[in-house]
């Protein structure tokens, strides 16, 4: 059904549009809610990352500095002890006496990290030596004068030597050298102490940076001094190739060596550092990135999760809200489509409790109203239709009655007329005794008038049949030749009476036609009769021909002719050129209109060519053979 197809395509369109609305709501919500959430959270996260990094850097640097401070304190304490020991009370002739050795022994006793001490004279020769391990024999041949530590201490400063890894021990050492200064400004020698920096390890071991962070100490050259992983130290590892360590050699860059680096194990760590004064060492603090940023990442993940949930909620809300808004719209649209398709029973159920429900109620009221007025209209139409049908039936009946009445009437008229004409003929033929000449001429007038009256009755009857649509053709084969001949015979006498030349031209080889022979003869008789009637002198000719599957029959006269204005009207009913001619020439004035109908029922055409004073030619065409009336 057409209606279903329409609603199908309507629902298709609806689906498409529905997609559009949902998408629009979706986009709006995602853009507004999701977008603002995303932006604010991203900003927040960015700030937090920046803040965390800054905090971590600060904390790590502080830890490194604390470690550096502790190591420095330790070294400084050792150095201080050495310095104290370098203020001898036993000075003889500008030299330390042998009693000074007890001071040195006290030093070894008090400071376990010191491995051995050597007192050197200004000449660079060893004067006293005390070792914690092994013999405290002087290296008599050694000349310390050219050494850097000698020069530094001799100049009144404390010397901290580079880290040494002696062959006889795994433990690294440094040398501290101070001037032997019994009185301020009076330097009498140099005291060197070899310090085992193994104690730095303990300090380093204790440093904990977060969960698994650690600190280690490298020398100025990058050599590893202390590391929680002792194995590395014992291996005498050189860290100078580590980027965070090598970066320390570039003092111009303050932040060099601070940040994310790979540690010695290849693991990513957050590195920071602090310099240890005097010894030229550096404490490096490293903490695995995953741990350092762990809380941040967890927090970011949490925030991201919240964002995701918020976005999903927003999307869900958008879709739900879209649906909620869309559902009543769809319902309304479906209703409108159903209404359009003619389903007036349409009732919408929208229970949103808002304007949509009001709209749906309005819609329902409208549909109900429409239905009522439709029903009303249908009832009215039905009543009108019935009335019209009744009227039409009555009219048809009336028409049939009229035609029947006319047919009956004409039969009734004809029956007495038949008797009149019959009796007249019998009297004229002398059946009831020989009539006188005068009687005979009167009988002839009776006959002529009777036949005229008969013609009029026939015309009226024909016309009433035409009007009632009951005029039908009786089709049969005919010879046009015979038709012309019968007409000629019928009116020959009339023409002769008026002294008119009357000729017919009919080719001998005309084909046989098919049509209503009697009606065709009636047409030709009418035209010929008129021609003779209206022509006072000259001639009347009938000319027949056949071409292109049609007969053409023309009746030409030399009568008064017909004005152009009248030519169009003469085929109309009840029309003669002027009213007076009806009285003069007789006829009902129906002949030509009946002739026209007969010709048209055959599928032909009738027309006149004429000029006032130059005669008229009435012509008509007939398809040679017709199988049914037009």
Partner 1 sequence: MTSTKKRILVVEDQEDNRRILRDLLTNAGYQVFEAENGGEALVAATTHRPDLILMDIQLPVVDGYEATRRLKADPAVREIPVIVITSYALSGDEGKARAAGCDDYVTKPYSPRQVLAKVRSYLS
Contact positions vs partner 1 (CB under 8 A): 407, 410-411, 414-419, 421-423, 425-426, 429, 431-432, 454, 458, 461, 465, 470-472, 474
Q: Please, what is the minimum distance in Å from the beta carbon of residue 451 to partner 1? A: 9
Q: How far is the CB of 521 from partner 1 (least distance, A)?
A: 12
The torsion angle over the Cα atoms of residues 580, 584, 588 and 594, rounded to 10 degrees, is -90
List the structure tokens of 98. Answer: 């042998």
CB of 527 to partner 1, least distance (A): 20
Handedness of CA 466, 600, 556, 484 (dihedral sign): negative
Token pair of 63, please?
A: 């830890």
Task: Note the helical H segments in 132-288.
Answer: 148-154, 198-206, 230-234, 243-246
Q: Least Å distance between CB 390 and partner 1? A: 29
Residue 146 CA to residue 427 CA, distance in Å, equals 195
Cα 393-396-399 angle, rounded to 5 deg: 150
DSSP β-ladder status, 605-610 and 214-218: unpaired
Of 178 and 427, nearer to partner 1 (C-beta) is 427
The distance from CA 585 to its chain's CA centroid, rounded to whole angstroms, is 86
Whose Cβ is closer to partner 1: residue 268's or residue 423's?
423
Give the torsion sign (CA, 204, 206, 210, 213).
positive
Q: Which tokens belong to 467?
A: 């009007």
Identify which of residues 62 and 415 has a Cβ nearer to partner 1 in the complex: 415
- Residue closer to partner 1 (CB basis): 227 or 519: 519
CB of 562 to partner 1, least distance (A): 30
Shortest CB 433 distance to partner 1, Å: 12
CB 474 within 8 A of CB 518: yes
State the minimum distance, in angstroms, from the CB of residue 379 to partner 1.
Answer: 43
User: In the complex, what is the shortest distance from the CB of residue 460 to partner 1, in angstroms, rounded to a whole number?
Assistant: 11
- Of 77 and 415, the one with the shorter C-beta distance to partner 1 is 415
Choose between 41 and 453: whose C-beta lies nearer to partner 1: 453
Residue 30 or 453 having the CB closest to partner 1: 453
Closest to 545 (Cα-Cα) out of 520, 515, 511: 511
DSSP-assigned states of every residue in 3-25: HHHHHHHHHHHHHHHHHHHHHHH
Minimum CB–partner distance for residue 461 and partner 1 (Å): 6
What's the min distance (Å) between Cβ of 472 and partner 1?
5
CA angle 614, 620, 624 (to 5 degrees): 150
Nearer to partner 1 (CB atom), residue 424 or residue 593: 424
CA 513 to the chain's CA centroid: 72
Alpha helix segments (H runs only) across 469-511: 480-498
If the CB atoms of residues 155 and 419 are measured against partner 1, the closer one turns out to be 419
Do residues 244 and 271 make contact, with C-beta atoms less than 8 angstroms apart? yes
User: Minimal distance in Å, beta carbon 462 to partner 1?
Assistant: 10
Q: Is 541 exposed, middle or buried (0-12, 13-18, 19+ CB in 10 A)?
A: middle
Distance CA 622, CA 512 (A): 12
Q: Are 178 and 158 in contact (CB under 8 A)?
A: yes
3-state secondary structure 522-569: HHHHHHHHHHHHHCCCCEEEEEEEEECCEEEEEEEECCCCCCHHHHCC
Cβ proximity to partner 1, 161 vs 455, nearer residue? 455
Nearer to partner 1, 322 or 529 (CB): 529
Name the DSSP letter for residue 280. T
């Amino acid at each position: 059904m057409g209606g279903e197809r329409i609603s199908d395509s309507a629902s298709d369109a609806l689906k498409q549009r529905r997609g559009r609305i949902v998408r629009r709501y979706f986009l709006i919500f995602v853009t507004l809610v999701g977008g603002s959430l995303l932006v604010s959270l991203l900003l927040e996260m960015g700030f937090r990352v920046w803040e965390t990094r800054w905090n971590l850097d600060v904390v790590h640097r502080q830890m490194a500095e604390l470690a550096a401070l502790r190591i420095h304190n330790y070294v400084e304490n050792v150095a201080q002890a050495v310095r104290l020991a370098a203020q001898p009370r036993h000075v003889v002739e500008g030299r330390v006496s042998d009693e000074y050795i007890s001071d040195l022994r006290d030093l070894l006793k008090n400071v376990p990290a010191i491995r051995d001490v050597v007192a050197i004279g200004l000449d660079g020769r060893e004067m006293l030596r005390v070792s914690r391990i092994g013999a405290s024999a002087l290296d008599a041949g050694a000349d310390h004068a050219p050494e850097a530590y000698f020069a530094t201490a001799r100049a009144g400063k404390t010397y901290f030597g580079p880290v040494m890894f002696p062959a006889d021990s795994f433990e690294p050492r440094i040398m501290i050298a101070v001037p032997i200064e019994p009185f301020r400004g009076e330097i009498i020698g140099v005291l060197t102490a070899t310090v085992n920096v193994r104690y730095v390890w303990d300090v380093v071991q204790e440093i904990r940076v977060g969960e698994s962070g650690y600190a280690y100490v490298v020398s100025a050259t990058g050599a590893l001094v202390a590391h929680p992983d002792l194995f590395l130290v014992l291996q005498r590892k050189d860290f100078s190739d580590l980027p965070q360590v090598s970066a320390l050699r570039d003092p111009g860059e303050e932040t060099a060596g601070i940040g994310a680096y790979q540690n010695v194990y290849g693991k990513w760590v957050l590195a920071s550092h602090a310099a240890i004064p005097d010894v030229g060492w550096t404490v490096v603090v490293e903490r695995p990135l995953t741990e350092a940023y762990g809380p941040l990442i967890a927090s970011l993940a949490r925030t991201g999760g919240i964002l995701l949930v918020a976005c999903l909620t927003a999307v869900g809300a958008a879709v739900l809200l879209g649906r909620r808004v869309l559902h009543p719209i769809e319902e309304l649209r479906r209703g409108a489509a159903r209404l359009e398709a003619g389903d007036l029973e349409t009732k919408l159920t929208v229970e949103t409790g808002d304007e949509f429900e009001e709209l749906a109620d309005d819609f329902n009221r409208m549909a109900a109203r429409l239905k009522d007025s439709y029903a009303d209209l249908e009832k009215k139409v039905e009543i009108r239709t019935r009335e019209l049908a009744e009227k039409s039936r009555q009219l048809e009946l009336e028409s049939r009655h009229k035609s029947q009445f006319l047919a009956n009437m004409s039969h009734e008229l004809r029956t007495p007329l038949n008797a009149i004409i019959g009796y007249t003929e019998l009297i004229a033929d002398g059946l009831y005794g020989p009539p006188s000449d005068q009687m005979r001429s009167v009988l002839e007038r009776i006959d002529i008038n009777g036949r005229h009256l008969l013609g009029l009755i026939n015309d009226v009857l024909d016309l009433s049949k035409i009007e009632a649509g009951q005029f039908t053709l009786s089709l049969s084969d005919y010879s046009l030749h015979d038709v012309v001949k019968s007409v000629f015979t019928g009116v020959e006498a009339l023409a002769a009476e008026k002294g008119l030349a009357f000729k017919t031209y009919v080719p001998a080889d005309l084909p046989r036609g098919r049509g209503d022979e009697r009606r065709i003869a009636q047409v030709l008789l009418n035209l010929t009769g008129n021609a003779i009637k209206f022509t006072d002198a000259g001639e009347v000719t009938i000319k027949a021909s056949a071409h292109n599957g049609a007969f053409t029959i023309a009746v030409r006269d030399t009568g008064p002719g017909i004005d152009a204005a009248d030519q169009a009207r003469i085929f109309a009913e009840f029309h003669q050129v002027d009213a007076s001619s009806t009285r003069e020439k007789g006829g009902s004035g129906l002949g030509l209109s009946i002739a026209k109908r007969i010709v048209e029922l055959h599928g032909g055409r009738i027309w006149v060519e004429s000029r006032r004073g130059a005669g008229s030619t009435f012509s008509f065409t007939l398809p040679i053979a017709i199988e049914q009336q037009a």
